[in-house]
Amino acid sequence: MPAPLATVETTPDLPTHADVVIIGGGIIGCFTAYYLSKRGLKVALVEKGRIGAEQSSRNWGWCRQQNRDARELPLATKSLDLWEQFTAESGEETGFKRCGLLYLSNNEAELAGWARWGEFARTVDVKTQMLTAEEAAQRGRVTGKPWKGGVFSPTDGTADPSRAAPAVAQAVMKLGGSVHQGCAARGIEMEGGRLSGVVTEKGTIRTRIAVLAGGAWASSFCRQYGIRFPQAAIRQTVLAVSPGANELPPVLHTTAVSMTRRGNGGYTLAISGRGRVDPTLQLLRFSTQFLPMFQRRWRNLAPGGLEGMRSGHEGMSRWRLDQPTPMERMRILDPAVDKAVVRLTYQRALDLIPAMKDREVTAAWAGYVDSTPDGVPGIGEIASVPGLVLAAGFSGHGFGIGPGAGHLIADIVSGVTPLVDARPYHPDRFRSSAWGKVAEF
């Protein structure tokens, strides 16, 4: 079954004009629309399916600084404050809590890596606490196992993937923006050498600026206009268990399994890095650029099946603006779960936490994590298509940094001083190799 997702009633009538059109109603697109609407711009957000129905509702819900790549850490830090501010400003509830994240390990190399990151974190005033064996055992006492050490990041937290994007979309409409579900963006129009409109299945919206926040669909959309955006989607499986294990910490990560408390008191379970690579024509096209990524993370990836071909998000076809596109044939990416991973994840949870034995598996789902060759998102205006701003390739980190990314994109669109330095994210970097630049975490 698909991941849980709140329903939001959106705007019925498509506007003829907008200051900015946002393509994609995930967490990135919604927060971008929110911050632009706050600045008084007329914003239209178009989503081919439902708000938040793809990876924005299928992730773990973590909002973390811990173990962030140095390029993403400033955005992660800003995002934590913005998660809190959003609820206070909008009155909408995303389920965000600074509950702290607990990491436990018996692997010396892993602990050493966390310690190195902690030394770096102190230089940028990020709070993180390395745990001794005794401290780890105390914080992880629910496991009943000894631990060599761990990390606790007290200011990190979680938000509710089932509620967050719909809540932000609701806030956008309160501010006067329009949000349109079941409305695929088929493409763009150009006039005088720059973007002049976004063509949707329900009509054309005249605009000078569009933000492409299309997640796993972004690269194939870019290809329609000769834009080479290297992107690969990794299929990951998650399951949920029923409420009742109240003695568990809100978040617990181990190499064996990771657990996150959801809004209903149940837990999301997953194995970090246990992804499937579904072969597609697009993956073959970009394979050489992803060699550094695959070399570093090959232990965490396994060959997949034909899900990618069936879904159509990594196709090589060209489509016409007056006919249905692949996005209309596949409104919501809902790939098959890896049943072997579901069984393994649940068994590992039982082995780690004896109290889990009475918890039933209530749901399991899969989603596509859209990754770039270096594991850092692409954010910035496309030089060959003035007026088109790319915001995709968040590599499994988009949910947590969604508010900061949305704010940064709104800054770029508005031409104001950016929230953080935008240069590390600019898509121009994909013209060069990612060797030596792949994010460690």
Give the residue from 5, 55, 38 showing the smallest Cα distance to 413: 38
Contact of 422 with 410, CB cutoff 8 Å: no
So what's the pLDDT on residue 1? 62
Low-confidence ranges of the chain (pLDDT < 70): 1, 441
Distance CA 187, CA 165 (A): 23
Per DSSP, which regions of 242-372 are E strands? Answer: 251-253, 258-261, 267-270, 275-277, 301-303, 361-371
**258: burial class by Cβ within 10 Å (0-12, 13-18, 19+)?**
buried
397-426 burial by CB neighbour count: b if 16+ within 10 A, else e? Answer: bbbbbbbbbbbbbbbbbbeeebbbeeebbe
Give the residue from 235, 239, 277 showing the smallest Cα distance to 258: 239
Phi, psi of 302 (to 5 degrees): -135, 150
Give the residue from 112, 55, 216 showing the smallest Cα distance to 440: 112
- For 101, what's the count of Cα atoms within 13 Å in the CB-facing half-sphere? 23
H/E element, 236: strand 232-241
Q: Mean pLDDT across the chain, nearest whole number?
A: 94
Q: What value, to the nearest 5°, has the Cα angle with vertex 44 and ends 40 and 49?
A: 145
Beta bridge partners of 23: 46, 212
So what's the pLDDT on residue 434? 76
Q: Which two tokens stand for residue 141?
A: 């006492």
Count the neighbouring beta carbons within 10 Å of the beta carbon of residue 91: 11
Distance CA 84, CA 304 (A): 38
Percent of the chain scored above 90 by pLDDT? 84
So what's the pLDDT on residue 263? 86
Q: How far is CA 116 from CA 244, 253, 307, 394, in A?
A: 36, 18, 38, 24
- Structural Rg of the chain based on CA atoms: 21
Percent of the chain scored above 70 by pLDDT? 99
In this predicted model, what pLDDT tens digit does every residue of 63-88 receive, in sequence order?
Answer: 999 999 999 999 999 999 999 999 99
Asked whether the whole model's pTM tops 0.85, one would answer: yes
Distance CA 80, CA 400 (A): 8
**Alpha carbon 350 to chain centroid distance?**
28
